[in-house]
Structure 1
Amino acid sequence: MELPPMTLWAFWSFLLVSSTHVPSFFGSAAHFSNETNHLALLHFKDLITDDPLHSLSSWNHTLHFCRWQGVTCGGRRHPQRVTALILTNNNLVGPISPFIGNLTFLKRIDLANNSFSGPIPEQMGQLFRLRFLALHNNTLTGEIPTNLTYCSKLEFLYLSRNRLSGRIPTEIGSLSKLTELILGKNNLTGSIPLSLGNLSSLSFLYLTTNSLDGSIPDDLGRLASLEQFHIGENELSGRIPPQLYNLSSIRVLDVGLNRLHGNLPPNLGLTLPNLQELYAGTNQFTGPIPISLSNASGLVNIDLDSNSFSGSIPTNFGSLEGLSNLLLWDNKLGIGKSHDLIFLDSLTNCSSLRAVQVASNHLSGALPDSMSNISTQLTSLSLGDNKIFGSIPSGIQNLVDLTVLDMGNNFLTGTIPIGIGKLNKAGMLFFYANELSGKIPSSLGNISQLFVLSLYENNLSGSIPSTIGNCKNLQFIYLDSNKFSSSLPKQLFIFQSLIYLDIGNNSFTDSLPLEVGYLKTLSSLRVSNNKLSGEIPSSLGNCLSLEYLSLDGNFFQESIPPTFSTLRGLRYLDLSGNNLSGEIPKYLEKLALEYLNLSFNNFEGELPKQGVFGNASQVSVLGNNKLCGGIPELNLPQCSSQASKKRRKSLASKVKISVVVVVLFLMLVSCIFATLYWLRKSRRKPVDVPSAEDHFVTMSYAELFKATDGFSSANLVGTGSFGAVYKGALDRDGTMVAVKVFNLQQEGALRSFMAECEALKNIRHRNLVKILTCCVSIDFKGNDFKALVYEYMPNESLDKWLYKDGHE
């Protein structure tokens, strides 16, 4: 630490004793001060635990310390006193030595962009000559020392990008010469001190990304020299003080990501004519966007996203020739009229425009052709989640620098422009949830940088172009809920970085290609509700990153591949509504499954009990009539081997049961003979007796769903009081059937179903349509399902059937 100052008595005593050696005394005093600087620097080095760039290798005894790297010494009066310590960007690790306080001639300290840790030494408060202190981008902790305010000449204080905590010291307001105060990106708490309003020379205030709360002090409106005001990413609330809007020197106003509310003043662009950047996104602002903003002719960035701004988007933004970013998404802009998009016309004058984001508003109208003439520097165009209709202008291909194009969730019709492939820099294309039709243009394969393709919920048809394989950077593909048909191209399964693939709810046919096993990075695969058949590819076991796999609602056959045992990260597996058979593999117990749906297949044998099978809320095996065992909550019958173990009855009990069975059998035989004798004697015409062929067959909901093509309207025969009748062809043998589906929401429908079942199971007559079976099941959504299945009688009415041969 610094040596204590010499007392006045000791000083005069030393002079009296050494009066004949005055010149030597002053020389030794200078040497003493120099040695203090030397030792302070050595102590600083001693605490450095890692110097990967060897920045302090010159700090040794062979060189004078004034020649050490990063050290600057003074001028003519104090040539060997350290005046600057500049060690930026050296990856130095360790605490800052408190001996730095002994370098009392320091005017500049710059230790930014290193890995200094621990607290800021309080001894820095001794550096009364200090004007510049830069400690940003380190890992410093603790609170900001209040005695830093003893450095009364301080002009620049940079402490951002550390881990400092606690409050902003009120004492900072006494640093009257401070011009830049940078405390952002720390863990500071509490409110903004009112005393900061005393910093009359302050031009740059940066408090962004902390946990500051409370309101913005009115006193900050006294900062007449303020040019940049950054308080974004905090927890501030209330309104922006009106006094701030009168600081005409402000060039940057950043209040985003807080809880501020109120309106922006209509004359904002008049009172802040020098404004270049406005960031007020993610707050609770309301009201219209001030038209006067165009008066601030130097505006480059306007960010008002995620608020509740309403009304029209100003059409005079086109006068802002330097405008680069217009971010207005997630508001309530637009009045639902066709001229909501007129503002796009004016933006054609903004030659530097790079981003227009107005998604998630209430904008209506057709896209103007003029949007194709917006700046060729445009990289992001986001119009999704609005009420935009009409077609996509073919001139969209002119925006060759686009990396993001979002038009999803609107009412767009027509086709995807053939020239879409000219957007070869695009990384994300969003056309989802519209009414687009036609095919995917083969030119899509020219967009080599594409990594997100989202076309779900449209009316797109045909096949997926094989050129999609040229988009080798694809990571997310959403093609579900369209009208695609034909087989799946192998090129869809060759992407080395694909993470998500959803082609569900289409009409894809044939098999799932073996090439699916090439998708090593695939996390989620959904091919649900198509017409895929054949075996489930065993190569899926190579997709070791799979977490979600949905193959439900297809025609897959055979058993679950044994290679699924390698999918250790699988959490969600849905194989329901297929024609899978065989036993359920026990290795599924060992997977990390959180949900397993095997319903409506033809599985048989004993159901496992461990892993996911041990929780009835995580597993479904409905519609597999040959399954047994499992946990009791699944209500499956006991397996025969289990039942025999539990039947431990005495020999006497077995004999009694046998006697009872024999007696009942004899009684039944007697009843049958008596009935036959009575029938022969009867003069009435006999009713047709059902034969062995009339035994009801078992049919599942899944089988009827497929037979009627998902109970489509194209197969609707007629409707009645309690349901509807559909025609269909059974997959098992091609038999044409009529399926009467009861609407169980209709009062009386359940009673009608029970009554018809009771009557038709006991009646056979040549003048009644033959019933094949009844189906009591659960649909794919878990709802009760009840239906009667009849023989289908095509092309003839009931009266023609009854009087067909002229009988009766």
Structure 2
Amino acid sequence: MAYNQMSGTLPPDIGSTLPNLHFLDMASNRFVGQIPLSVANATLLRQIDLSRNNFSGRIPANLGNLPYLMQLSLGRNRLEARDALDWEFVSSLANCSLLKELRLAMNNLSGALPASIANLSTQLNTITLGRNQISGSFPSGIKNFVNLVTLAMNENLFTGSIPDFLGELADLGSLILYGNKFSGNIPASLGNLTALNELILFDNYLEGSIPVSLGKCQGLNTLDLAGNHLSGSIPMEVFSIESLSNYLDLSSNHLNGTLPMEVGRLRNTPFLSVSNNRLSGELPTSLGDCQVLQYLNLSNNFFQGSVPKSLSNLKGLEKLDLSSNDLSGSFPDFLAGLPFLKLLNLSFNDLDGEVPVDKIFSNSSEFSVVGNHKLCGGISSLHLPSCSTQTSKKNRSLILKVTLPIVVLILLFALFMTCRYARKHKKNSPPAELTSDAPTKLSYLELMKATDDFSSENLIGVGSYGSVYRGVLGDGKTLVAIKVLNLVQRGAFKAFVAECEALRSIRHRNLVKILTTCSSVDLRGNEFRAIVFEFMPNGSLESWLHPDTDKKLYSKRLGLLQRLDIAIDVAAALNYLHDHCETPIIHCDLKPSNVLLDGNMTARVGDFGLARFLSNGTNRYLSSSSVIKGSIGYMAPEYGMGGQVSTHADVYSYGVLLLELFTGRRPTDDMFKDGLTLQNHVEEAFSKGAQVTGIADPSLFSDDKEGEDTSDLMVGMQASERITRCLESVLVVGLRCAKDSPRERITIKDAANRIETIKSLLRTAEMNKSPFNTPCLI
């Protein structure tokens, strides 16, 4: 009776009326209510599978009356355990001496596991407890289960250390403990587990070094230690595990040293990430031996030297991120020869030379080179200087000897005149020019002409401090967006200055580009302030998620991959603002209406009217006094309690935006009242075992294929399951960003890495092997 659409409750006398029942399998239906106590009267039962329903209440404490029970699967329900009485079923199950599988993941089980778990059958080979709220230390009774193959305790509240005795469970194949609060060292005894194929420990508080002994686990296909506090160098023995056929993720730790040449032994690994660490030295040429790599992320480290040409051997590579390192040397134009490369990030290095214009380098939405100040050429949207022919050293020397004294005199005179002018006009001068390639400032009359006298036909948006108009400059070709400040509104001028200051010296492919400003008077003699931006032809994300049906512009729906790309773009913008600006910037008002989409549907974050600078590069907080703190629904809860403005607040807003992007629901919808929030809505749906199709935006599952971008995923029997798991994974990332407590939120770097990984694995690996989609093994 499994995998149907049956609903209602189970008959209270089901066990009494069917005393000879051997198998009770009603998984993946819509049953509600409590599990009848009479089930224990069917004493011949071997298997009970009631997973993926909506059963609630306690788990019956009389299941120990089933002497032949071998499997108990109750995952993905709403079953509860809050106190010792609720956990009595564990003591009862000690009588089931043949029990081999206990699956309780994704329920509402809380509190500490009872000590009586140690009395369960020693024949147990599977225990899954993931996605509950179970707390306490690692249950010592687990050491009794010498036949254990799968142990999943992920996404609970377990604390303390991971015990050494796990290394004695010789048959253990899957150890999944991610998303808890485990601390201390990774036990070296895990190296004794020669049958281990999955070790997933990410998002804990583990510290110390990576055990060299893990190199003895030659059956591992998945190793994920990301998001901990691990330090020291990466043991070369880890790279000797040639069985790593799923992925290796060591990102977001404190690892140092070099990336050893032995990395080339990962010949069967499609996914490798060591990003967000403190690794240094040159990139090993042996990376070119990892010929099945599809995703390689080495970003946010201290790697030096040139990009090795051996990377051109990675013919299957789809994503390569080398950003935020100290790489130098000639621009790696040979990467254009990688036939499947879809995303290339070389930003914030010290590369020099000419950027090509063909293949991947012909589309600015697929690559980034921002922050490399010695580059030239490339497509026009990069705004790089042209590459001119080099003058001979001899001629250059002669020119310098003749012109240098003259130039110095001219510069000194210009400096003197500039200082005089600046002192004279300092008080009345508008904010400084915002970009080095900005056009001449425009007058009120020019903007009036560009917008046809600020006509309503050209009005494209109204915000807190003004209106935005579509305009065409005097050349008749340049399309711009003109933000006109309503200076009568309190705080508008301050917002104008803040936005100019925030955008004056920053540049990123995912930030809206400001072209120039206008500080003048209108025809009535009133003060006039405006900011001129690059025009975004596809409007705001808000308009795509919640379209006005009268506007044809938004008649196409956003597909799954488009939404993932937008999520990655916004995270990249915040990561740049928080960690890569000379003075970190907090946006303070991230929401869909402030995310704009260019002609290639690349997301650009805009509206910096509330942006704030951190006082210095090491302080991640700013006093909240006199600070305007954002929009209702997207504003971090600590602001309502007088908390400090911090980068954590932007992460919270990003989490809410992420949930809105994939559920299609605003956090301010009418349904969210009386304490119910968008986050609560998603969390409760998961805890009740709801299908993700009931949570996600219905337009993602529409039969109308216009705008759909997942056609390349619709191949194979597992396509639907992969997409479902992808959506679950993204929503979990959103929840982790939008935690009420700032300290519990992941960083924007982590969020970006996870979304990129989800998208990558959606196309390549089986999603049920990825921890970023939080497998529960129900």
Structure-1 residue corresponding to 2:273: 526
How many angstroms does 1:616 deviate by? 1.7
How many angstroms does 1:633 deviate by? 2.6
Structure 1 segment 39-50 matched on structure 2, within 5 A: none
The partner residue of 1:623 within 352, 361, 371 is: 371
The partner residue of 1:595 within 327, 332, 343 is: 343
Structure-2 residue corresponding to 1:549: 296
Spell out, residue by residue over 1:41-67, the C-alpha distance to the aligned partner (whole angstroms, 9 max, x if none): xxxxxxxxxxxxxxxxxxxxxxxxxxx
Contact between 1:603 and 1:627, CA under 8 Å: does it hold in 2?
yes
Structure-1 residue corresponding to 2:318: 571
Structure-1 residue corresponding to 2:156: 410
Q: Helix, strand or coil: the match of 1:424?
A: coil
1:635 is aligned to 2:383: yes
Spell out, residue by residue over 1:327-366, the C-alpha distance to the aligned partner (whole angstroms, 9 max, x if none): 1111111154454433111111100001000001111110
Structure-2 residue corresponding to 1:332: 78
Which amino acid in 2 is paired with 1:725? Answer: S
1:538 is aligned to 2:285: yes
1:430 is aligned to 2:320: no
Q: Helix, strand or coil: the match of 1:278?
A: strand
Could you tell me how far apart the structure 1 residues matched to 2:624 and 2:319 are? 32
Structure-1 residue corresponding to 2:552: none
Could you tell me how far apart the structure 2 residues matched to 1:295 and 1:363 are? 25
Structure 1 segment 17-416 matched on structure 2, within 5 A: 255-334=1-80, 336-337=82-83, 339-416=85-162
Structure-1 residue corresponding to 2:250: 503
Question: Hey, which of these two has a bigger chunk of helix by percent?
Answer: 2
Structure-2 residue corresponding to 1:790: none
How many angstroms does 1:724 deviate by? 3.0
Spell out, residue by residue over 1:415-437, the C-alpha distance to the aligned partner (whole angstroms, 9 max, x if none): 11111111110110011000000
Q: After TM superposition, which residue ranges in structure 1, 4 or more long, deviate above 6 angstroms?
A: 662-678, 698-704, 706-712, 738-745, 779-783
Could you tell me how far apart the structure 2 residues matched to 1:471 and 1:516 are? 16
Contact between 2:584 and 2:613, CA under 8 Å: does it hold in 1?
no
Q: 1:677 to 1:376 in 2, by over 3 A?
A: closer
Structure-2 residue corresponding to 1:646: none
1:609 is aligned to 2:347: no
Which amino acid in 1 is paired with 2:616? Answer: Y
Could you tell me how far apart the structure 1 residues matched to 2:286 and 2:200 are? 26
How many angstroms does 1:611 deviate by? 2.2
Which amino acid in 2 is paired with 1:505? Answer: S
Could you tell me how far apart the structure 1 residues matched to 2:326 and 2:625 are? 27
Could you tell me how far apart the structure 2 residues matched to 1:521 and 1:270 are? 54
Contact between 2:47 and 2:69, CA under 8 Å: does it hold in 1?
yes
Q: 1:782 to 1:409 in 2, by over 3 A?
A: closer
How many angstroms does 1:578 deviate by? 0.5
Spell out, residue by residue over 1:165-219, the C-alpha distance to the aligned partner (whole angstroms, 9 max, x if none): xxxxxxxxxxxxxxxxxxxxxxxxxxxxxxxxxxxxxxxxxxxxxxxxxxxxxxx
Which amino acid in 1 is paired with 2:310? Answer: T
Q: Helix, strand or coil: the match of 1:370?
A: helix
Q: Helix, strand or coil: the match of 1:609?
A: coil
Could you tell me how far apart the structure 1 residues matched to 2:621 and 2:58 are? 54
1:483 is aligned to 2:229: yes
Contact between 2:81 and 2:87, CA under 8 Å: does it hold in 1?
no
Q: Which runs of 5+ in 2 are unaligned?
A: 392-404, 422-504, 508-574, 587-609, 631-747, 753-778
How many angstroms does 1:472 deviate by? 0.9
Structure-2 residue corresponding to 1:580: 327
Could you tell me how far apart the structure 2 residues matched to 1:537 and 1:748 are? 46
Normalized against structure 2, the TM-score is what? 0.53
How many angstroms does 1:632 deviate by? 2.1
Which amino acid in 2 is paired with 1:581? Answer: S
Could you tell me how far apart the structure 1 residues matched to 2:62 and 2:416 are? 100
Contact between 1:722 and 1:743, CA under 8 Å: does it hold in 2?
no
Which amino acid in 2 is paired with 1:506? Answer: N
Q: Helix, strand or coil: the match of 1:269?
A: helix
Could you tell me how far apart the structure 2 residues matched to 1:286 and 1:705 are? 48
Could you tell me how far apart the structure 2 residues matched to 1:437 and 1:672 are? 59
Could you tell me how far apart the structure 2 residues matched to 1:676 and 1:516 are? 56
How many angstroms does 1:619 deviate by? 1.1
Q: 1:597 to 1:745 in 2, by over 3 A?
A: farther
Could you tell me how far apart the structure 2 residues matched to 1:709 and 1:418 are? 45
Q: 1:346 to 1:475 in 2, by over 3 A?
A: same
Which amino acid in 1 is paired with 2:275? Answer: S
Instruction: Report which stretch shifted further, 468-477 or 338-347.
Output: 338-347
Structure-2 residue corresponding to 1:54: none
Could you tell me how far apart the structure 1 residues matched to 2:387 and 2:33 are? 69
Could you tell me how far apart the structure 2 residues matched to 1:550 and 1:480 are? 13
Which amino acid in 2 is paired with 1:580? Answer: L
Structure of greater relative contact order (alpha carbons < 8 Å, 6+ residues apart): 2
Which amino acid in 2 is paired with 1:551? Answer: L
Q: Helix, strand or coil: the match of 2:135?
A: strand
How many angstroms does 1:584 deviate by? 2.2
Structure-2 residue corresponding to 1:724: 614
Normalized against structure 1, the TM-score is what? 0.51
Greater Rg by CA = 1
Root mean square deviation of aligned Cα: 3.8
Contact between 1:462 and 1:483, CA under 8 Å: does it hold in 2?
yes
Could you tell me how far apart the structure 1 residues matched to 2:164 and 2:258 are? 30
Q: Helix, strand or coil: the match of 1:509?
A: strand
Contact between 2:159 and 2:181, CA under 8 Å: does it hold in 1?
yes
Could you tell me how far apart the structure 2 residues matched to 1:743 and 1:528 are? 32
Contact between 2:585 and 2:611, CA under 8 Å: does it hold in 1?
no
Contact between 2:252 and 2:750, CA under 8 Å: does it hold in 1?
no
Q: 1:723 to 1:338 in 2, by over 3 A?
A: farther
Contact between 1:723 and 1:742, CA under 8 Å: does it hold in 2?
no
How many angstroms does 1:569 deviate by? 0.3
Structure-2 residue corresponding to 1:733: none
Spell out, residue by residue over 1:25-78, the C-alpha distance to the aligned partner (whole angstroms, 9 max, x if none): xxxxxxxxxxxxxxxxxxxxxxxxxxxxxxxxxxxxxxxxxxxxxxxxxxxxxx
Q: Helix, strand or coil: the match of 1:490?
A: coil
Contact between 1:723 and 1:743, CA under 8 Å: does it hold in 2?
no
Structure-1 residue corresponding to 2:188: 442
Instruction: Report which stretch shifted further, 576-585 or 403-412.
Output: 576-585
How many angstroms does 1:594 deviate by? 1.1
Could you tell me how far apart the structure 2 residues matched to 1:541 and 1:570 are? 11
Q: Helix, strand or coil: the match of 1:725?
A: coil
Q: Helix, strand or coil: the match of 2:215?
A: helix
Which amino acid in 2 is paired with 1:480? Answer: A
Could you tell me how far apart the structure 2 residues matched to 1:706 and 1:419 are? 44
Could you tell me how far apart the structure 2 residues matched to 1:272 and 1:454 are? 42
How many angstroms does 1:666 deviate by? 9.4
Q: 1:588 to 1:274 in 2, by over 3 A?
A: same
Q: Which runs of 5+ in 1 are unaligned?
A: 1-254, 644-661, 679-697, 713-719, 729-737, 750-778, 784-808
Could you tell me how far apart the structure 2 residues matched to 1:582 and 1:308 are? 59
Contact between 2:362 and 2:379, CA under 8 Å: does it hold in 1?
yes
How many angstroms does 1:634 deviate by? 2.7
Could you tell me how far apart the structure 1 residues matched to 2:135 and 2:243 are? 35
